[in-house]
């Protein structure tokens, strides 16, 4: 678990990174309740977008390792590429889980209407895993951390717009409504809507969770198949 603890320290000792990982989730709690189409406080919609940004920011450190030749040195070290990968992902997952705890517990204590806080927590956890695996797959396409991050920022905003976190999916043209169902972001918005309205059985929530798990495994396979040396 040496790599795991090193990755945690690496993220905590960077002040700007620490503020990004802690301050923004806290700010999301105190954003106001919407008067429009959003069932949840607006900060909880935006927290989904933040999870995507955190995913790419954390996993981009692995590109930095590749640029510095760390991955090459693993070939002669008593650490396999698999150990390096899963310990990095475990550390990143822990950071995102802590963020989810802060947002859900903080919102509950602050007095936000979260309907079913436990379901909200589970939904954000599952989406966090999707975010990490998707960012891992994305970063496997790039050798430059800066290029991967900048392009992915535009992708995040586009996915959030089409997926229903920024505007209701119902406002989009029929073609984009169908397209949005292919995006993991859509299922986060769908899950939040189910929790707030609850007009379908619990099996619908399990269905949403199952789709997120499938996305997680799909992107993990894609991201871990390619090693950039």
- Give 189-202 pLDDT, tens digit per residue: 999 999 988 777 89
Has residue 161 got a pLDDT over 60? yes
Query: What count of other Cβ atoms lies within 10 Å of the Cβ of residue 51?
Result: 25
Which residues have CB under 8 Å from 145's CB, separation 6+?
Answer: 60, 61, 63, 64, 67, 139
pLDDT at 36 over 50: yes
Domain extent listing, the chain: 3-29+37-225
DSSP state at residue 32: P
Q: Sign of dihedral through CA atoms 52, 58, 61, 63?
A: negative
Nearest-CA neighbor of 165 among 37, 30, 27? 37
For residues 87 and 61, give the distance between their C-alpha atoms in angstroms, rounded to a whole number.
13
Alpha helices in 68-201 (DSSP H): 70-73, 81-110, 117-139, 145-163, 174-180, 184-197
> Which of 93-107, 121-135, 158-172 shows the lowest mean pLDDT across its residues?
158-172
Closest CA to 227 of 76, 71, 80, 75: 71
Q: CB–CB of 228/143 below 8 Å?
A: yes
Tell me what pLDDT residue 228 has. 42
pLDDT at 67: 74
Mean pLDDT, the chain, whole residue set: 87
Q: Is the pLDDT of residue 229 over 50?
A: no
For the cut 90, the answer to whether the pLDDT of residue 75 exceeds it is no
Specify the higher pLDDT residue, 68 or 121: 121
Instruction: For residue range 163-181, list pLDDT tens digits in order.
Output: 988 888 888 999 999 999 9
Backbone angles phi, psi at 38, to 5 degrees: -75, 130
Q: What integer pLDDT is reported at residue 51 of this predicted model?
A: 96
Q: Which has the higher per-residue pLDDT, 223 or 210?
A: 210
Question: In whole angstroms, what is the distance from residue 205 CA to residue 119 CA?
Answer: 9
**C-beta separation of 50 from 25 below 8 A:** yes
The predicted pLDDT at position 83 comes to 83
- The number of CA neighbours under 13 Å toward the Cβ of 41 is 23
């Amino acid at each position: 678990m040496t790599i795991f603890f090193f990755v945690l320290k690496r993220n905590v000792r960077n002040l700007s990174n620490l503020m990004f990982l802690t301050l923004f989730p806290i700010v999301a709690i105190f954003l106001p309740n919407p008067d429009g189409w959003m069932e949840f406080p607006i900060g909880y919609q935006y927290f989904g977008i933040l999870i995507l940004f955190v995913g790419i920011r954390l996993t981009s450190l692995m590109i930095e390792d590749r640029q510095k030749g760390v991955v090459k040195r693993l070939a002669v070290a008593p650490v396999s590429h698999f150990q390096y990968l899963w310990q990095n992902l475990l550390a990143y997952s822990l950071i995102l889980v802590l963020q989810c705890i802060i947002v859900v517990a903080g919102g509950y204590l602050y007095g936000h209407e979260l309907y079913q806080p436990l379901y909200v927590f589970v939904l954000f956890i599952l989406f966090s895993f999707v975010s990490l695996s998707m960012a891992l797959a994305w970063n496997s396409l790039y050798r430059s951390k800066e290029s991967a991050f900048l392009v992915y920022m535009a992708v995040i905003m586009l996915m959030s717009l089409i997926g229903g976190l920024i505007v209701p999916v119902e406002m989009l043209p029929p073609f984009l409504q169908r397209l949005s169902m292919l995006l993991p972001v859509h299922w986060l918005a769908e899950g939040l809507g189910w929790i707030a309205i609850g007009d379908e059985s619990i099996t619908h929530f399990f269905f949403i969770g199952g789709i997120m798990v499938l996305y997680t495994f799909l992107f993990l396979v894609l991201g871990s198949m390619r090693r950039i040396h």
